[in-house]
Structure 1
Amino acid sequence: MTAYYRPLVQNGVVRPKGAVVLAGQALWFTHAECLQRDTPPRVVAAVDIPEPWLTRLIQPRAAIAGLEMDRPQIMGILNATPDSFSDGGQHNTAESARLAARRMVDQGATIVDIGGESTRPGADFVPEDEEIARTQPLIRAIRAETQALISIDTRKSAVARAAVEEGAGLINDVSGFTFDSKLAPFCASIKAPVCVMHMQGDPATMQDNPSYDDVLLDVYDFLEEQVSWLENLGLDRSQIIVDPGIGFGKTEDHNLKLLRNLSLFHGLGCPVLLGVSRKGFIGNIGAEPRKDARAPGSIAVALSGLSQGVQIIRVHDVAETAQALRLWAAVR
């Protein structure tokens, strides 16, 4: 039976004997929770974690497109869509996108993530030519404005190819490279960094009664399988980011279980991205129906993720998040 090891992450300058560093960061752990399907969890000492788990947990993460992974990075969300759940219709011209991207970078974003197809629950499919028409001019304008890393949020190889031609340097696929069979080989052929996200179903159906045997271990297994597959295609594991896909084919309870146990995903040996900004469960738990008023709840969950070693947080409210991150870091 497969055993999984979730480091019990701690922070502090003074470390006890047996402490090991988590993923080359300032965080560390002395023990981990050992998880197995249909078996009660148990706690083991870090020194008793078998290889290759221990190596993957402690090895420093390589830089992604020049961005160091030993400190938190902020990915700003910029959707060139009329129907995204929070910011649809706000950035559908090259000029508005250019100004928005400049503002995000000035406020502290090191990555600008551009999407041309809404992935909100119930969203309709967007043809690739329409998605290219939405995103390519924006990427061109943003690249002329800033040298920040541009990410293309797409499931489609043609869209990714057009985005890379204009200067995008990261491909972020919400389907985890299961939608378009040509996308992963394209990324491997140009050695482009990628983000692999977990989603059950597709945006149109993903919230129709999602179910799992064990959401934490099922999501981990999916990501491990996709990362290994991408490695076999020629991508280096160090250039693969993983995202558990909070809110994508998950109930509120599923989301909370993943968020409580995010440190498990460091066992994949990849940087971890967390995207929770303004999502429905934040509105439900935080009693805030207005999507654009959910920055406090979004930041609270993001900081919880950073406390577990998440390297990248994907956000709408860049200035507010950057301010909170600076204070969080100073106190710690």
Structure 2
Amino acid sequence: MTINCNGKLLSLNQPKVMGILNVTPDSFFDGGKYKDEKSILNQVEKMLNEGATFIDVGAYSTRPGALNVDEATELKRAVPIVGLILKNFPDTILSIDTFRSSVAKECIENGAAIINDISAGLQDDNMLHTVAKLHVPYIMMHMRGTPQNMQKKTDYDDVIKEVLSFFSERLVATKSLGIKDIIIDPGFGFAKNLEQNYKLLNQMEVMSIIEHPLLAGISRKSMIYKTLGNTAEQALNGTTALHMVCLQKGAKILRVHDVKEAMECVKLYEQLIA
């Protein structure tokens, strides 16, 4: 199980950690923390030193109800950050978290290696064609609607079956264009209520029938802190507990705010299955 990142084959047989770098003012946990070069580089260095294989750069907040940001603003935020990181840490494998093909293209051409699309190509008709032309790994996530209205779109008859059906359809679309390195993200917290998130997590191993690597993004999300009755800032312990579940259910990439703790979870998991 490998993906090609800027010409280098990377194995996902052992789980990897993807560190989150949001350069937005309004992300649900770390919005506004990384708004100057020093704070951005310090955080990237910290995550790399703690063991992150990937750094995921996001310039558009996708928290529930987040304000829409225009394309020019997202480009203005994202592209310089890609250049800044690679100038200082040239071996970094950067993922760009965007649903816009223009942002994806600019960031890849400036050295990013992976496209992480919350909409699986449904928010931009040019996205899949762009991914195919760029020949880069593509993370596609399940979501209904947009970040602005997704929480009103949780009327599933069976969330597991419908998520699987969604990916079956999107895989036909991607593979027909020759896209090969595809990673699946079930989309915890995106158009799913608390009970649906836990059902999806509890049965996540069924996603293995898709035969593509799984990414789990649950870090500090409301499915954790609402259950525990605390806040995103207090949800690290809960996040770590569910990261172990994600690994046991087949996740190959953990997308996280806290790399050190996630790496410890991966090490313990590997010892458990050794």
TM category, shorter = over 0.9
Deviation digits for residues 232-270 of structure 1, max 9, x if unmatched? Answer: 01112xx00000100000001110110011111111111
Deviation digits for residues 58-105 of structure 1, max 9, x if unmatched? Answer: xxx223423211001000000010000000011122332222111101
**Aligned 1:1-332 pairs, distance under 5 A:** 61-65=1-5, 66-146=9-89, 147-208=91-152, 210-236=154-180, 239-289=181-231, 291-332=232-273
The 3-state SS of whatever aligns with 1:92 is coil
Displacement of 1:331? 3.6
Give the partner amino acid of 2:256.
V
Give the partner amino acid of 1:328.
Y
Give the partner amino acid of 2:208.
H
Distance 1:218 1:274 in 2: 18
Displacement of 1:148? 2.2
The 3-state SS of whatever aligns with 2:200 is helix
TM-score (norm 2): 0.95
Distance 1:126 1:148 in 2: 27
Give the structure 2 partner of residue 34 of structure 1: none
Confirm or deny: 8 A CA contact 2:3 2:137 kept in the other structure.
no
Give the partner amino acid of 1:223.
F
Confirm or deny: 8 A CA contact 1:93 1:138 kept in the other structure.
no
Distance 1:192 1:327 in 2: 31
List gaps (5 residues or longer) in structure 2: none
Displacement of 1:209? 5.2
Deviation digits for residues 96-120 of structure 1, max 9, x if unmatched? Answer: 2222111101101100000000000
Confirm or deny: 8 A CA contact 2:254 2:262 kept in the other structure.
no
The 3-state SS of whatever aligns with 1:311 is strand
Distance 1:319 1:62 in 2: 24
TM-score (norm 1): 0.79
Give the structure 2 partner of residue 30 of structure 1: none
The 3-state SS of whatever aligns with 1:63 is strand
Distance 1:323 1:286 in 2: 22
Confirm or deny: 8 A CA contact 1:98 1:138 kept in the other structure.
no
The 3-state SS of whatever aligns with 2:11 is coil
The count of residues paired between Structure 1 and Structure 2 equals 269
Displacement of 1:211? 1.0
Deviation digits for residues 284-320 of structure 1, max 9, x if unmatched? Answer: 112222x122111111111101012210010001112
Confirm or deny: 8 A CA contact 1:259 1:305 kept in the other structure.
yes
The list of structure 1 runs, each at least 4 consecutive aligned residues, that deviate by more than 3 angstroms after superposition, is none
Q: % of aligned pairs identical?
A: 36
Distance 1:149 1:227 in 2: 24
Which has the larger displacement, 267-276 or 321-330? 321-330
Which of the pair has the greater relative contact order for Cα pairs under 8 Å at 6+ separation? 2
Task: Write 1 or 2 for the structure with the bigger share of helix.
Answer: 2
Give the partner amino acid of 2:85.
I
Give the structure 2 partner of residue 4 of structure 1: none
Distance 1:230 1:209 in 2: 24
Distance 2:88 2:173 in 1: 36
The 3-state SS of whatever aligns with 2:163 is helix
Confirm or deny: 8 A CA contact 1:91 1:97 kept in the other structure.
yes
Distance 2:212 2:265 in 1: 25
